[in-house]
């Protein structure tokens, strides 16, 4: 589980670093770079609601395997597009939006795996290890992207990203879960509405969720990537 989540989050940071470098290196503006980075957050509000229903019905492990498998394909498509002489910035922006939608579907699964894998008495330790893996992913993802870009270019970084997601998918296959799936057969919209009503009746839970979303969106508005910008300025 730790390997799967670490590589998954690291892959997300690799994509962000590689695409930001490429956009600036191609002469794109900060607005275009911010748009490409920010579009991955837009699906979170809506898609994650449906993702919770999918986790209940088919299990977080299966959702993650599907997510990582599709991200492998998407990374290879992005690399192919970057190798093309006709690539434009809007192509990368569209691919980023698709990647953001896919990640939004799988992200809740990374959080739901702890109670499905660890015994109850080890929840706190398992959650701490999961958070450590997230921190490692945030650190090592951009580092690996930078190394691959320095070796060749951003296209090679996306090929490396495909390898990272493939290893993450294989690691997810090895996760053994112990929590039975929900057998409820009601509509997805009905289950989402039930979940929203439950959140509304629990102020503490509602405020925790609001703070979590605030961190996500503030990280978009205040992310500026000065190192990437200065490097591309010198390159030009």
**Structure confidence by residue, pLDDT tens digits, 193-213:** 666 676 677 777 667 666 655
E strand segments, the chain: none
Task: Give how far Cα 132 sits from Cα of 14, 15, 67, Å.
Answer: 18, 20, 22
Task: Please give the domain boundaries of the chain with CATH numbers for all domains.
Answer: 2-235 (1.20.1250.20)
What pLDDT, in 10s, does the model give residues 72-90?
999 999 999 998 878 888 8
Instruction: Return the pLDDT at 161.
Output: 94
For tokens 């057969």, what's the residue? 185
| Alpha carbon of residue 69 to chain centroid | 13
Q: What is the pTM of this model?
A: 0.75
Residue with tokens 């990640």: 103
């Amino acid at each position: 589980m730790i390997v799967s989540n670490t590589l998954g989050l690291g892959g997300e940071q690799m994509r962000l670093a590689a695409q930001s470098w490429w956009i600036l290196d191609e002469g794109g503006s900060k607005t275009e770079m911010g748009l490409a980075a920010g579009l991955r957050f837009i699906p979170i509000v809506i898609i994650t609601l449906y993702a919770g229903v999918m986790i209940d019905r088919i299990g977080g492990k299966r959702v993650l395997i599907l997510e990582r498998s599709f991200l492998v394909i998407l990374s290879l498509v992005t690399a192919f597009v970057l190798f093309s002489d006709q690539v434009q910035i809007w192509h990368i922006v569209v691919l980023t939006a698709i990647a953001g939608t896919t990640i939004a579907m799988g992200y809740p699964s990374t959080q739901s795996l702890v109670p499905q894998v660890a015994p109850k008495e080890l929840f706190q330790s398992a959650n701490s290890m999961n958070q450590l893996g997230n921190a490692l992913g945030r650190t090592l993802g951009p580092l690996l992207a930078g190394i691959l870009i320095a070796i060749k270019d951003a296209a090679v970084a996306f090929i490396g990203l495909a390898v990272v997601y493939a290893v993450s998918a294989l690691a997810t296959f090895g996760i053994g879960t112990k929590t039975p799936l929900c057998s409820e057969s009601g509509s997805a919209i009905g289950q989402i509405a039930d979940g929203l009503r439950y959140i509304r009746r629990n102020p503490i839970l509602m405020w925790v969720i609001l703070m979590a979303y605030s961190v996500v969106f503030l990280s978009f508005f205040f992310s500026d990537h000065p190192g990437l910008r200065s490097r591309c300025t010198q390159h030009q």
